[in-house]
Amino acid sequence: MRNSKFILTLIKMKLSKMMVFRLSFFGAFFVDGTLFLMQLLLYQAIYSQVDTIGGWERGEMIIFIGTFSLINALNMVIFFFGTNDIGVKIKNGDLDHYLTKPVNPLLRLSLENVDPGSIPLIFASIIIILYGVNNLKIVVTPGKFIAYFLFVLLMTLLWYDLMVISRTISFFTISAVNMGLLSDTVLELCMKIPGTLFHGIYKVIFYFILPYGIMSTLPTEFIAGKLSPAGITYGCLIVVLFTAFTLWFWKLGVKNYKSASS
């Protein structure tokens, strides 16, 4: 709340800059919408050949796809284009300009490049989720839908935490490219299959060390009525844990930062 005016100013400046070139502004809607349709056709081709995956019915798979698409869209709209370049700014010294300003540098880095181009994808994802709920023929109350979207926001925060952590490594290494590639590979895997398929060491990796596997799985199980109270608690705790670690790791990285002027 203390930084709300600053955040609104950042968003206003970004939108004003985008509207200078209106084709670029509206082009983002077209590009993201096209990518969403391509993903939908891909998943339809895969899942139309089977009735269940990991004990999930078709409706749950549809909700899973829509949920990951929704989290991805929120990510693209809010913080992706800001956090994605953190490693580059650390290496070339541009971070100096953020540390010398009287605002939280991580907050500014995260929100200075909001992009409304994926907003249509948010609504399209919601439609897919509703279709999946209808396919399951379950009754979902307004209260449960609100709780589901709060869960989605938590998973979006977890995605943000993982992005910041992977790029904060640049404070301590010559190059963090391999870490970025690892995160992208794991993310791509977990976007295609539900977390219920992971067992043993793979579940430890994708549910705790790199918890991309829970991002869409837990909200899907929640709205389908299959997530236990222990699962809800775990999802909340893992987000709190990673958020606390992200803030600590960022501060540690800033302390070890060698500026361009040093």
Which of 94-103, 110-119, 186-195, 232-241 has the highest average model confidence (pLDDT)? 232-241
pTM of the model: 0.85
Q: Which of 158-167, 169-178, 212-221, 242-251 has the lowest mean pLDDT?
A: 169-178
- What are residue 239's DSSP bridge partners? none
Quick one: CA torsion of 41, 28, 113, 169, rounded to 10 degrees? 40
What is the band of 207 on the pLDDT scale with cuts at 50, 70, 90?
very high
- pLDDT at 90 exceeding the cut of 70: yes
Segment among 104-113, 152-161, 239-248 with least mean pLDDT = 104-113
Cα–Cα distance, 163 to 20 (Å, whole number): 29
pLDDT per position as a tens digit, 222-232: 999 899 999 99
Q: What is the DSSP letter of 261?
A: T
Cα R_g (the chain), whole angstroms: 19
Residue 110 has which token pair? Answer: 């995260």
CA distances to 30, 115, 121, 123 from 34, rounded to whole Å, are: 6, 16, 10, 14
Q: Is the pLDDT of residue 162 over 90?
A: yes
* Residue bearing the bigger pLDDT, 190 or 236: 236
- pLDDT tens-place string over residues 18-61: 655 555 555 556 666 676 677 667 766 766 666 677 778 888 88
Coil, strand or helix: which one is 70? helix
Give the whole-angstrom CA distance, residue 216 versus residue 156. 10
The whole-angstrom separation of Cα 152 and Cα 143 is: 14
